[in-house]
Structure 1
Amino acid sequence: MASAAIDELKQLCSVKFERKTVPGIKNLPVAVKGLLDEGCDIVMAFGMPGAEPIDKQCAHEASTGLIQAGLGAGKHVIEVFVFEDEADSDKELAELADQRAREHARNVYRLLFKPEELEKLAGTGQREGGPDAGPLRR
């Protein structure tokens, strides 16, 4: 997923990348905090939790830590999680992971360089990695 996001960002802009790998999803918050403390403007955190209830609980705990890291630094942390049960086959899962990473990378680009594009997308029901929900109908 990180490779897809890096590829997408390289197509959009010129930024420096710092990449860290951790042994598990619950280790992401410490790595993210370290990157933010080192001066990164924004961090993307990638993970693929399993399908079991304990995996989802661990992902929730990791997500809470990522939120805390971002709040503590006053910077964005973009969480890019793909759960193993989101697709029926490995091929579909790989495609979903690639698409979600790329769409979140485009959001990183918008946050850094084109915030007005985010304003235009607000309320349109965008979904990273899947079909967009679309705006609410009255």
Structure 2
Amino acid sequence: MRIGICDTTFARFDMASAAIDELKNNAYDLQIIRETVPGVKDLPVTAKILIEEENCDIVMALGMPGPMEKDKMCAHEASTGLINAQLMTNTHILEVFVHEDEEEDPVELSKLAENRAREHAQNLIKMMYHRKAMRKEAGMGMREGKEDAGPL
């Protein structure tokens, strides 16, 4: 299994290292290809390259958009680009964004970033190795990085 990981220098936490650690500790027979780009708007083409040129079976795109309105717009554009890359390649790209304004305290923001990266890495493992386990979680209000909302 070839897993692509792309992250950014703009992020204030190394989410890719947390995701890679989680993958290596909980999956088998995998090869990880990591690329780092400046910002979130660079992630879609990098994810597409990881799929088409590096033959990755799935990709995680990790980013940390800033708190300004312009940052939110860039995150939306990056998200749209990641969706388009998925559709062009018929390959999942897990978007793992942590917005800087999700937590005011830097310590809590770093905890959120690490937890979200690790929990999305666990989702990747379920998607690629244990699809029925993911199905059992449908409608359960699962949240990555924070408390689960729970089912209604």
Q: Report TM bin, short chain.
A: over 0.9
What residue number does 2:52 align with? 37
Report the Cα offset of residue 94 of structure 1.
0.4
Q: Which has the higher helix share?
A: 1
Report the Cα offset of residue 102 of structure 1.
0.3
Identity %: 57
- Structure 1: gaps spanning 5 or more residues: none
Using the size of structure 1 for normalisation, the TM-score is: 0.97
What residue number does 1:52 align with? 68
Is residue 2:2 matched to residue 1:8? no
Report the Cα offset of residue 127 of structure 1.
0.4
**In structure 2, which of residues 42, 54, 61 is the aligned counterpart of residue 27 of structure 1?**
42
Q: Which has the higher strand share?
A: 2
C-alpha deviations, 1:60-94, integer Å up to 9, x for none? Answer: 00000001101111110000000010112111000
- Structure 2: gaps spanning 5 or more residues: 1-14
Q: What is the aligned length?
A: 136
Using the size of structure 2 for normalisation, the TM-score is: 0.88
**In structure 2, which of residues 103, 110, 125 is the aligned counterpart of residue 109 of structure 1?**
125
Distance in 1 (CA, whole Å) between partners of 2:26 and 2:86 is 24
- Secondary structure of the structure 1 residue equivalent to 2:48: helix
What residue number does 2:151 align with? 135
Give RMSD over aligned pairs: 0.6
Distance in 2 (CA, whole Å) between partners of 1:61 and 1:125 is 26
What residue number does 1:80 align with? 96
- Secondary structure of the structure 2 residue equivalent to 1:17: strand
What residue number does 1:92 align with? 108
